[in-house]
DNA sequence: TTGTACGCGTTATCAT
DNA sequence: ATGATAACGCGTACAA
C-alpha cells in the first residue's frame, strides 16, 4: 500500500531543525523571520515536496479555501465564462471553486445560502447577476462575515465589492449603430423585470432613440425573460406591429437567436428584412446564421478580476483598480444591415 | 457580533447526556446503538440545530466531502448539463461540487491531477469524456485510492466505474433516418481522432451505410475536432465533392452548426439542398435556423446517476443498476428532409 | 526571533 | 452498548 503519505508540517520542522510554528510562519509570510531560517525551511519544504493540508488549515482557521460561485443566471454560456475566469484566477493556488446555483424566487433561497455559508464556511463568494443585485443576499454575506464580490451591470452598493460592466452605454452605442444604418422603426425585447441588467439595457436603448428623436410606441416593446423561447414569442408580437419594425434589439443573445428564429419562420430574411442585435456575445452569437451583431461584455475578465480581488483582499488591500468598470464593445456581424427601401 | 456560533458535537453530547463518541456513532449510523440512545441524541441535534462540521470530519477522515468534476470537454453546454446532474445528485447532502478542467494533451496534466488528489483529497471524482477514456487518469485514481466514475460512450474497463451512452446505435439510427429520406450521398464530419465517442459515432455511421449498400468515398469524410470552426472547414471540403453530398452527419452539434453555417455561406438552403444531422442536442441545436435534427444523449441523467453511485458506494454497494447504459434518442427537427430530385 | 502548549471538531482505538 | 483518550495537521496565545 504505497498510500502516498504526505509530509506534514512536523516533518518539515524536523528536517529544517526548527519548530513547526516557525514553519507555519514561513507559510503565512510572517514578518519576523531571519532570512537564514526562512531559507532553511523553504529548502526542507522543497526536499519533502511539502504542501500544507487545506483541511487542517480550514479547521484551525474556521474557514475553508473554497470560493463559491453563487448564481441564478439562465445563460449556460455566461455561467461557463464566469467559471473560466474564476478558474484562471485560482489556478496554481490553494483555492478551489464550488458552484452554488440558487433558484430565483424560491422562498428557501436565503436559508439555503445561509446553510451553505455556515456549513462550508467558504473563503468567499462571487455573486453573479441577477442574484448579485439581491440586497438580502448581500446583507447575508455581511452578517455571516463572508467575503464577497458582486458582478453586475448596475453601479449600486459598496464599490469595493463590485465589478460592473457599462451595459447602458454599450446598448446606446449598439442602438446608434442601427440608427446610423438608417433604421427608424426599432423594436426592443426587454429582459425580465427586476433585473438590473435588463433595466440598464432598456435605458441605453431608450436614450439612443430619444437622442435621435425616434419614437418608441408600446407596440415595439416586448417583455422577455432572457431565454430563447421568450425571444421567439416577443418577436412574433413585434413583427405583428404595423408598420413592421426593420430592426430589433434583444437584451441578450439567446433572445436575439429567438428573434432570428421567429423571423425565419415568418419567411423574413435577416438582415435584409430585419436587422437583429443581441447582447453578451455568447458562443451562439457567432454560430447562428446569420452571425449575430452583438455587444461583447468581458465577463470572463470580470470574473477573474473579481476572484483575484477576493483572494488578495486578505493579503493586501491594494487591489483597488479592480473595481474599475469593464467596457463592453460592439461586435458587428452579419445580422445588421441598412433597411430595405 | 452575533457571529452565529455553530453548535458542536460536544454541545449535542452534553444536552443528550452521552459521550461525543456516541453522537458520532449516531451520525455515522453505527450498528450498535440502543434505539433509546439514538432517539435522545437525535432530539438533542434537532433542538440545537446541529450539523457536523465538514472541515473537522475531513481532517479526521483524511478526505473531504468534495466531488470533483474532471473534464476537458470542449462543449460548454455539455459541461453545464453534467454540472446540473451532479448538483441535483448532491442537493441536500453534505457534498459540494468542485470543477477541475484539465488541458488535453498537456504534459503536466497528470501531475496537476495528482496534486489535486493529494491536496484536496476529494471524496470522489466524475471523469467526463474524453478525459474519462484516458487509462493513465484511471490508473491514477486507483493508485491514489480516489473513488471515481467514468462517463463516456465506450464500454471499456470496469463496469462498476462506468456510465455510458449507446452512441453507436444512436448514430446508426440517425443515419438510417437520412437513408429513409432518400439520401444516398451522405457526408461524415468525424470527431477528433483518439476520442472514443468519435470512434463510436463513426462506426455507427459506417454500419448504417454498409447495411444499405451505400458507398463512402474518402471525399465524403472529413476530420473535425468537435468545435464549431472545424465543422465549417469540414463542410467546405465535403461540399466541394463532386457530386455534392445531399446530407451530412456531423459528430456533434457544434460542428453541425458549423456545417449549416458553411452551407448558408455557399448559398445553399438547409434542408432543401442539404440535410444536416448533429449529435448531443445541446442548447444550440434547437436555437439555430433551421432547428437541428440531432441525437439527444441523456447526459444530465447520466451525470446524476454517476454521482449518486459515487456517494452511495460508501454506504451500500447495491447501486449496480446504475451502470446500465443510457439510451439516446433521435430528435427530428427541420434540418433534415428528402433530397431534391 | 523562536518554541511550547493547547485548541479547532471530528473520528478511531481500546477499554469497560 | 458506551466512554475516556488519543489522533488528524495546522494556527495562535503566551512564554522564553
The reply to whether the CB atom of residue B10 sits less than 7 A from any atom in nucleic acid chain C is yes
Residue B290: list chain A partners with CB under 8 A: 264
Scanning every residue of chain A, which has its alpha carbon at the shortest distance from the alpha carbon of B80? Answer: A76
Nearest partner of A57 among B56, B39, B61, judged by Cα? B56
Pair type for strands B247-250 and B275-277: parallel
Strand C nucleotides in reach of protein CB atoms, 7 A cut-off: 1-5, 7-13
- A255-266 in b/e form (b: 16+ CB < 10 A) is bbbbbbbbbbbe
Q: Give the residue-averaged pLDDT of B244-256.
A: 96
CA B120 centroid distance within chain: 22
B265 beta carbon to strand C: under 7 Å: no
Q: Which pLDDT value is given to residue A37?
A: 85
Mean pLDDT in residue range B39-63: 90
d(CA B224, CA B262): 14
Of A51, A144, A287, nearest to B284 by CB-CB distance is A287
- Rounded distance between C-alpha atoms, residue A26 and residue B275, angstroms: 65
The mean predicted confidence, pLDDT, of chain A is 90
Q: How close B62 comes to chain A (CA, Å)?
A: 8
- For B10, counting Cβ atoms within 10 Å of its Cβ (0-12 exposed, 13-18 middle, 19+ buried), the class is exposed
Q: What is the pLDDT of residues A103-148, one digit of tens each?
A: 888 899 999 999 899 888 999 999 998 899 899 999 999 998 899 9
H helix or E strand, kind and range, residue B294: strand B294-296
Q: How far is CA A260 from CA A313, B152, B285, in A?
A: 44, 34, 14
- A63-82 tens-digit pLDDT: 899 999 999 887 778 899 99
pLDDT at site A30? 77
CB B227 within 8 A of CB B74: yes
Instruction: Please tell me the distance from the alpha carbon of residue B180 to that of residue B211, in angstroms, as a whole number.
Output: 12
Question: Are B125 and B101 spatial neighbours (Cβ–Cβ below 8 Å)?
Answer: no
* Residue A317 DSSP symbol: S
What phi and psi values does residue A48 have, to the nearest 5 degrees?
-85, -10
Q: What is the greatest pairwise CA distance in chain A?
A: 86
* Residue A59 to residue B54, Cβ atoms within 8 A: no
Q: Do A98 and B290 touch (CB under 8 A)?
A: no
Chain mean pLDDT for chain B: 91
**Burial letters for A214-234: b for 16+ Cβ neighbours within 10 Å, e otherwise?**
beeeeebbbebbbbbebbbbb
A11 CA – C2 C1', rounded, Å: 18
Answer yes or no: are the C-beta atoms of A215 and A180 closer than 8 Å: no
Chain B nearest-CA distance from A160, in A, is 22
Which bases along strand D come within 7 Å of a protein CB atom?
A: 1-5, 7-13
* Alpha-carbon gap, residue B284 to B276, rounded angstroms: 14
- The C-alpha cell at B282 is 445541446
pTM: 0.87
Given a cut of 50, whether residue B321 has pLDDT beyond it is: yes
Q: Which residue has the higher pLDDT, B171 or B316?
A: B171
Query: Mean pLDDT across the stretch B125-134?
Result: 92
Bin B180: left if φ > 0, else alpha if -120 < ψ < 50, else beta. Answer: alpha
CA A21 to chain CA centroid, Å, is: 40
Residues of chain B with pLDDT > 90: what percent?
65
Nearest-Cα distance to chain B for A242, in Å, is: 25
- Conformation bin of residue B290: beta by default, left when phi > 0, alpha when psi is -120 to 50: beta
Give the closest of B6, B76, B258 to A76, CB-based. Answer: B76
* Cis before A130? omega within 30: yes
Q: How many angstroms separate the CA of B21 from the C1' of D7?
A: 14
Q: What is the pLDDT, as a whole number, of residue A316?
A: 47
| Residue A4 banded pLDDT, cuts 50, 70, 90 | low
Residue B252 pLDDT exceeds 50: yes
Radius of gyration of chain A (CA): 25
The residues, any chain, with a CB within 8 Å of residue B228's CB and separated by 6 or more, are A283, A286, A287, B254, B255, B257, B258, B261
d(CA B176, CA B159): 30
Please write the tens of the pLDDT for every residue from A223-236. 999 889 999 999 99
Give phi and psi for A126, each to the nearest 5: -100, 125
Report the C-alpha gap between A319 and A316 in whole angstroms.
7
What is the distance in angstroms between the Cα of A14 and the nearest Cα belonging to chain B?
Answer: 21
Nearest by CB: A97 against B87, B98, B143? B98
pLDDT digits (tens, 9 = 90+) for B67-125: 999 998 877 778 999 999 999 999 988 899 999 999 888 899 999 999 999 889 999 99
pLDDT for B262-294, tens place per residue?
Answer: 999 999 999 999 999 999 998 889 889 899 999
- Predicted local distance difference test score (pLDDT) of residue B20: 85
Give the cell for residue A61. Answer: 482557521
**pLDDT above 90 as % of chain A:** 64
What is the per-residue pLDDT for B315? 47
Question: CB–CB of B289 and A289 under 8 A?
Answer: yes
Q: B3 pLDDT band (50/70/90 cuts)? A: very low
Return the residue in B113, B289, B303 with the most chain A beta carbons within 10 A, the one to mutate for interface testing: B289
Residue labelled with grid coordinates 428532409? B337
The number of C-beta contacts closer than 8 angstroms across A and B is 113
By Cβ distance, the residue of B94, B96, B101 closest to A87 is B101
What lies within 8 Å, CB to CB, of A227 at 6+ separation is: A74, A254, A255, A258
Sequence-distant (≥ 6) Cβ neighbours of residue A138 within 8 angstroms? A127, A148, A150, A157, A161
A90 is written with which cell numbers? 485560482
Q: What is the dihedral of CA B16, B22, B26, B27, to 10 degrees?
A: 100
Closest C1' nucleotide to B21's CA = D3
Task: State pLDDT tens for residues B8-49.
Answer: 998 899 888 888 889 999 988 888 788 888 898 999 999 888
- Which nucleotide lies closest to B6 by the C1' atom and the CA atom? C9
CB nearest to A119's CB, from B51, B59, B79: B51
Spanning CA of B27 to C1' of C13, the rounded length in angstroms is 19
Cβ-contact A19, A13 below 8 angstroms: yes
Q: Measure in Å the smallest separation between the Cα of B193 and chain A Cα atoms.
A: 23
**pLDDT band per the 50, 70, 90 thresholds, residue A283:** confident
Residue A46 has pLDDT above 70, yes or no: yes
- The model's confidence at residue A321, banded by pLDDT at 50, 70 and 90, is low
- Whether B96 and A53 lie within 8 Å, measured CB to CB: no
Asked whether residue A20, judged by its CB, lies under 7 Å from any atom of the DNA or RNA strand C, the reply is yes
Report pLDDT digits (tens) over A164-199. Answer: 999 999 999 999 999 999 999 999 999 999 889 999
**Is the pLDDT score of B6 beyond 90?**
no
| pLDDT score of B282 | 85
C-alpha–C-alpha distance, residues B262 and B247, integer Å:
13
Is the predicted pLDDT of residue B155 greater than 50, yes or no? yes
d(CA B189, CA A167): 39
Per-residue pLDDT of A13-45, as tens digits, reads 888 888 888 888 888 877 777 888 888 888 888
**pLDDT exceeds 70 at position A317:** no
Integer Cα distance of A208 and B278 in angstroms: 41
Q: How far, in Å, is the CA of B59 from the C1' of nucleotide C8?
A: 11
- What's the gap between Cα B278 and its chain centre? 17
SS3 A224: coil
The confidence score (pLDDT) of residue A78 equals: 86
Amino acid at each position: 500500500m504505497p498510500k502516498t503519505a504526505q509530509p506534514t508540517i512536523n516533518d518539515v520542522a524536523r528536517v529544517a531543525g526548527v519548530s513547526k510554528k516557525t514553519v507555519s510562519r514561513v507559510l503565512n509570510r510572517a514578518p519576523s523571520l531571519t532570512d537564514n531560517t526562512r531559507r532553511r525551511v523553504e529548502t526542507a519544504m522543497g526536499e519533502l515536496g511539502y504542501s500544507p493540508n487545506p483541511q487542517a488549515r480550514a479547521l484551525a482557521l474556521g474557514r475553508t479555501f473554497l470560493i463559491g460561485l453563487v448564481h441564478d443566471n439562465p445563460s449556460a454560456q455566461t455561467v461557463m465564462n464566469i467559471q473560466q475566469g474564476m478558474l484562471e484566477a485560482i489556478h496554481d493556488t490553494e483555492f478551489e471553486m464550488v458552484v452554488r446555483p440558487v433558484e430565483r424566487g424560491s422562498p428557501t433561497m436565503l436559508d439555503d445560502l445561509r446553510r451553505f455559508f455556515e456549513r462550508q464556511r467558504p473563503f468567499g463568494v462571487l455573486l453573479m447577476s441577477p442574484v448579485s443585485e439581491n440586497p438580502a443576499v448581500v446583507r447575508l454575506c455581511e452578517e455571516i462575515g463572508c467575503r464577497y464580490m458582486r458582478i453586475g451591470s448596475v453601479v449600486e452598493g459598496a464599490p469595493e465589492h463590485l465589478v460592473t460592466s457599462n451595459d447602458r452605454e454599450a446598448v446606446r452605442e449598439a442602438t446608434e449603430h442601427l440608427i446610423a444604418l438608417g433604421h427608424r422603426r426599432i423594436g426592443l425585447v426587454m429582459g425580465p423585470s427586476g433585473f438590473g441588467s435588463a433595466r440598464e439595457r432598456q435605458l441605453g436603448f431608450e436614450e439612443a432613440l430619444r437622442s435621435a428623436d425616434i419614437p418608441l410606441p408600446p407596440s415595439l416593446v416586448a417583455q422577455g425573460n432572457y431565454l430563447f423561447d421568450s425571444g421567439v414569442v416577443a418577436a412574433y408580437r413585434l413583427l405583428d406591429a404595423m408598420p413592421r419594425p426593420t430592426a430589433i434589439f434583444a437584451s441578450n443573445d439567446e433572445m436575439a437567436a429567438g428573434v432570428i428564429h421567429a423571423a425565419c419562420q415568418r419567411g423574413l430574411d435577416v438582415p435584409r428584412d430585419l436587422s437583429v442585435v443581441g447582447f453578451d456575445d455568447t458562443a451562439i452569437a457567432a454560430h447562428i446564421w446569420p452571425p449575430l451583431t452583438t455587444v461583447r461584455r468581458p465577463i470572463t475578465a470580470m470574473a477573474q478580476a473579481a476572484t483575484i480581488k477576493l483572494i488578495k483582499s486578505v493579503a493586501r488591500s491594494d487591489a483597488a483598480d479592480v473595481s474599475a468598470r469593464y467596457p463592453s464593445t460592439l461586435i458587428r456581424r452579419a445580422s445588421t444591415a441598412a433597411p430595405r427601401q
